[in-house]
Amino acid sequence: MRRSCRAFAIIPMAVLGLSALAGCVDEKIIFRDRDLFEEPLAQAANFLGYSDQAAQLTVCGNCHVEKQGDWEGTAHADAWETLQASGAAQGFCEGCHSVNELGNAIDVEAGYNTTFEDRYHDVQCESCHGPGLAHVTNPTDLTVPMAPLSVGIDLTVGCGECHAGSHHPFVEEWSQSRHGDMNAYPQGRSDCESCHTGEGALELLGVQTIYSEFGTVVDDTDNNLPITCAVCHDPHDASNPGQLRMSVDDPDVEKNLCMQCHVKRAVPDLEDSPGGTRGPHSPQGPLLLGVVGDVGWLPPNFAYNIDRIRGSHGSAANAGLCVGCHVNSYDVNDASGAFVVTATGHLFKPIPCLDASGAPIADDSCAVNTTERTWASCTTSGCHGDATAALSAYNAATTRIDNLVAELDALLTQVVTNDPTQINRGDTIFTVAEGAQFNMELGEIRSSAVHNPFMTEALLVASIDEVRDEYGLPAQTNVSLRTMWPQFVPVED
Ligand code: HEC
Ligand code: HEC
Ligand code: HEC
Ligand code: HEC
Ligand code: HEC
Ligand code: HEC
Ligand code: HEC
Ligand code: HEC
C-alpha cells in the first residue's frame, strides 16, 4: 500500500502551488520521483511523520504545500533540535518534542513513543491532527484528520497535552483566566457568541475552517468552547511572533488581535438604543488608542482640539500595547534561587496577586500594594523604575479619576432629583445627563485610569462642564477638579 507523489522539497513551495495537490490526487498524473511515505510500523498506529526528514517535509506537506511552508517557520518544526541542543535531553523529554499520541485524540502510545523512529521528530501536523494514513491514502474520503480546537484542561487532548507543567503551565494559567472560562450568557445568541465563544471568535477572525468539534458544539446551550489557544494562535502562521493569528502591536482596532473583541461598545450605541440604554462594554481598545470620537460620549463643548488623547501606554513607548502589560512571562525562583515555576502570562493579568512562592494567581482579592502583587510588567519593560513608582502612578491616576467620577455622580444626582426624566434610558431621547452617565461609567471601570487617564479625564471634565451648563448647576466645591489637567501633554507618535 504505497502511493507516490512528486518530491518537490527543494523547489520553492509557492511555485508549485496547487499543482502539487493535483499531482497527488489526479490519477492521470503519476509522479514516481520518490515515495510519499514509507509504510509505518504497525505499532505507530497510522502516524506517518516526515516524508523527507532532512528537508523537514511532512507527508501532509507534499500536498498541503502552503500549510507546510507556514508550519516550517514555527518553533514546532524545531522542537527536536531544540531539545537536543539543550544539553539536557532525556528519554522522558521526547514525547512533547515529537509526533505521538500527545495533542490529538489518540489515547494509546503511538508514533515516536512506540517506534523511536527519526521520522517522528518535531511537533508535526499529525501531533495536532492525529494519524494521517487513512486520509493520505484516500484524500477525498471522509477520514480527514481534524485538529481539536479544545485545549483539554484535563490534558487529554489538544495543545494542553504538551503546553503544561511547571516549565510551561500555559493551560493551567489560561484555564483560570477569563478567556478559559465559559459564561452562560452568550450561548445561542449570535450577537454575543462572536467574542464570548471559541467557535464564534474564529468566525469573527475570518477563519473559515473546520476542526474536530466543528458543528457539534455551536449553539449547544451548555457546551460552547471558551477563547481557546487556537483562537489567538494559528499553528500554521509564522508571520507574527508566537504564532499569533494577528498582530498585537498594531495601533489600529481593525488589525490588533486583542482589539477584535475588546472593542464592543466604547461610544453610546444610539442606533440600537436611541435612549442610550447601554453603558460601555469592553471599551479597552479604543480607550487605549484614544482617537477622539472613537471612545466616550463627546459633549458638545468638548474643546480639546486634537485628534488623539492618550498616554504613553497607548503609544510607541509601549510597543506591545495590551500585551506589553497583560502577557508577561518570567521565571519564579524561591529564596535560595531555585526554579519554582515559569509564569507564562496566560492569566492575562498585568499586576496579579502572588501566592506564598511568589507565583502569580488568578484570585484578585489581595491588596493593591507592592508586596502582595507583582508589578513586573510595569518595570521589566523599563517604563517604571521600580514597583513603588508604578504603584504611585497607579494610585495617583486612580484617585484623580475617582474624584472626577464622584463630582459628576453628585451633579447627576441633582439633575435626576430636579427632573427624573433626564436619565430614563428606557425612553428614546438621549439627554446630556445620559451621555455624561456613559462617561461616568467609563471612569468607573477601574482600568480606565491605566488604559488612558488623559482621555478619561478629558471626557469627565467636559461632561462635568456640560452638565453644569445644561442644567444650570453650581460647581461642586468639595472636589479639586483640575489638579491634574494643566499637566496634560498628549503623546506624539
Ligand atoms: C495525497 C495528498 C494529500 C496528503 C498527503 C494529505 N492531504 Fe489533506 N487533503 C487532501 C485533499 C485533496 C483534501 C480535500 C478533501 C476534500 O475536500 O474532499 C484534503 C483535506 C484536508 C483537510 C480538510 C481541509 C478542508 O478544507 O476541508 C485537512 C484538515 C487535511 N487535509 C489535513 C491533512 C493532514 C494532517 C495530512 C497529513 C497527515 C494530510 N492532510 C495529507 C490531500 C492530501
Ligand atoms: C509536557 C511536555 C514537555 C516535556 C515533557 C518537555 N518539554 Fe520541552 N517544551 C515543551 C513546550 C510546550 C515548550 C515550549 C514552551 C514555550 O514556548 O514557552 C518546550 C520548550 C523547550 C525548550 C525551548 C526553550 C524553552 O524553555 O522555551 C527546551 C530547550 C526544552 N523544551 C527542553 C526540554 C527538556 C530538556 C526536557 C526534559 C528534561 C523537556 N523539554 C521536556 C514541552 C515539553
Ligand atoms: C499545533 C497544532 C497544529 C499543527 C502542528 C498543525 N495544525 Fe493544522 N490545524 C490545527 C488547528 C487547531 C486547525 C483549525 C484552526 C485553524 O484553521 O487554524 C487546523 C486547521 C488545518 C487545516 C484547515 C482545515 C480546513 O477546514 O480548512 C489544514 C488543511 C491543516 N490544518 C493542515 C495542516 C498541515 C498540513 C500541517 C503540517 C504542515 C498542520 N496542519 C499542522 C492545528 C495544527
Ligand atoms: C506534541 C507537543 C505539542 C503540541 C500538541 C503543541 N505544542 Fe506548541 N510547542 C511544543 C514545543 C516542544 C515547543 C517548543 C519548540 C522549540 O522551542 O523548539 C512549542 C512551541 C510553541 C509556541 C512557540 C511559538 C513559536 O513558534 O515561536 C507556540 C505559540 C505554541 N507552541 C502553541 C501551540 C498551540 C496553540 C498548540 C495547539 C493548537 C500547540 N502549541 C500544540 C509542543 C507542542
Ligand atoms: C465585540 C466583542 C463582544 C461582543 C459581541 C459581546 N461582548 Fe461581552 N464582553 C466582551 C469582552 C472583551 C468582555 C471582557 C472585558 C470587560 O469586561 O470589559 C466582555 C464582558 C462581558 C460581560 C462582563 C463579564 C463578567 O463576567 O464580568 C458581560 C455580562 C457580557 N460581556 C455580556 C455580553 C452579552 C450578553 C453579549 C451579547 C448581547 C455580549 N457580551 C457581546 C466582548 C464582547
Ligand atoms: C487571548 C489570546 C491568547 C490565548 C487564548 C492564548 N494565548 Fe498564548 N500567547 C498570546 C500572546 C499575546 C502571547 C505573547 C506573544 C509574544 O510575546 O510575542 C502568547 C504567547 C504564547 C507562547 C509563547 C510564544 C513564544 O514566543 O515563546 C506559547 C507557547 C503560547 N502562547 C501558548 C498558548 C497556549 C498553549 C494556549 C492555550 C492554553 C494559549 N497560548 C492561549 C495570546 C494568547
Ligand atoms: C475572541 C475575543 C477575544 C480576544 C481576541 C481577546 N479577548 Fe480578552 N476577553 C474576551 C472576553 C469575552 C472576556 C471576558 C470573558 C468573561 O468574563 O466571560 C475577556 C477577558 C479578558 C480579560 C479579563 C478581564 C477581567 O475583568 O479580569 C483580560 C485582561 C483580557 N481579556 C485581555 C486580553 C488581551 C490582552 C488580549 C489580546 C492578547 C485579549 N484579551 C484578546 C474576549 C477576547
Ligand atoms: C499600561 C499597562 C496596560 C495596558 C497597555 C493595557 N492594560 Fe488592561 N489593565 C491594566 C491594569 C493595571 C489593569 C487593572 C488591573 C487591576 O486593577 O487588577 C487592567 C485591566 C484590564 C481589564 C479589566 C477591566 C476592568 O475591570 O478593569 C481588561 C479587560 C483589560 N485590562 C484589557 C486590556 C486590553 C484589551 C488592552 C489593550 C487594548 C489593555 N488592557 C491594555 C494595564 C494595562
175 C-alpha vs ligand 3 centroid, how far in Å? 22
Are the CB atoms for 89 and 46 separated by under 8 Å?
no
CA 472 to each of CA 137, 285, 338, 418: distance values in angstroms, whole numbers, following the listed order: 80, 35, 65, 11
**What pLDDT was estimated at residue 248?**
97
Measured CA to CA, the distance from residue 486 to residue 466 in angstroms comes to 19
- Find the residues whose C-beta lies inside 6 A of ligand 7: 178-179, 181, 183, 195-196, 201, 227, 231-232, 248, 257-258, 260-262, 322-323, 326-327, 348
Measured CA to CA, the distance from residue 343 to residue 95 in angstroms comes to 22
pLDDT in tens, 458-490: 999 999 999 999 999 987 655 544 444 444 444
Instruction: Domain ranges for the chain, please list them.
Output: 4-140, 146-245, 284-313+388-487, 329-379
CA-nearest of 124, 128, 126, 188 to 159 is 128
Whole-structure pTM over 0.75, yes or no?
Answer: yes
For ligand 1, is residue 44 a contact (CB within 6 Å)? no
**What pLDDT was estimated at residue 425?**
81
Are the CB atoms for 375 and 351 separated by under 8 Å?
yes
**What pLDDT was estimated at residue 13?**
31
171 C-alpha vs ligand 6 centroid, how far in Å? 10
Residue closest via CA to ligand 2's atom 5 equals 93
* Ligand of minimum distance to the alpha carbon of 168: 2
204 C-alpha vs ligand 1 centroid, how far in Å? 24
* Ligand of minimum distance to the alpha carbon of 157: 4
CA-nearest of 152, 143, 151, 93 to 123 is 93
CA-nearest of 68, 79, 94 to 7 is 68
Residue closest via CA to ligand 1's atom 16 equals 140
For ligand 1, is residue 210 a contact (CB within 6 Å)? yes
Residue closest via CA to ligand 6's atom 3 equals 232
Burial (0-12, 13-18, 19+ Cβ within 10 Å), 398 = middle
Burial (0-12, 13-18, 19+ Cβ within 10 Å), 361 = middle
**What pLDDT was estimated at residue 276?**
82
**What pLDDT was estimated at residue 476?**
65
**Cell numbers given for 278:** 447601554
Measured CA to CA, the distance from residue 128 to residue 100 in angstroms comes to 9
For ligand 6, is residue 229 a contact (CB within 6 Å)? yes
Measured CA to CA, the distance from residue 490 to residue 286 in angstroms comes to 16
Measured CA to CA, the distance from residue 161 to residue 339 in angstroms comes to 22
Residue closest via CA to ligand 7's atom 29 equals 348
Name residues of the chain where pLDDT drops below 50.
1-32, 480-493
Average per-residue pLDDT in the chain?
Answer: 87
Measured from the Cα of 195, ligand 7's closest atom is 2
* Ligand of minimum distance to the alpha carbon of 447: 8
* Ligand of minimum distance to the alpha carbon of 158: 4
180 C-alpha vs ligand 6 centroid, how far in Å? 13
**What pLDDT was estimated at residue 34?**
62
Residue closest via CA to ligand 7's atom 9 equals 179
For ligand 2, is residue 229 a contact (CB within 6 Å)? no
Measured CA to CA, the distance from residue 130 to residue 66 in angstroms comes to 19
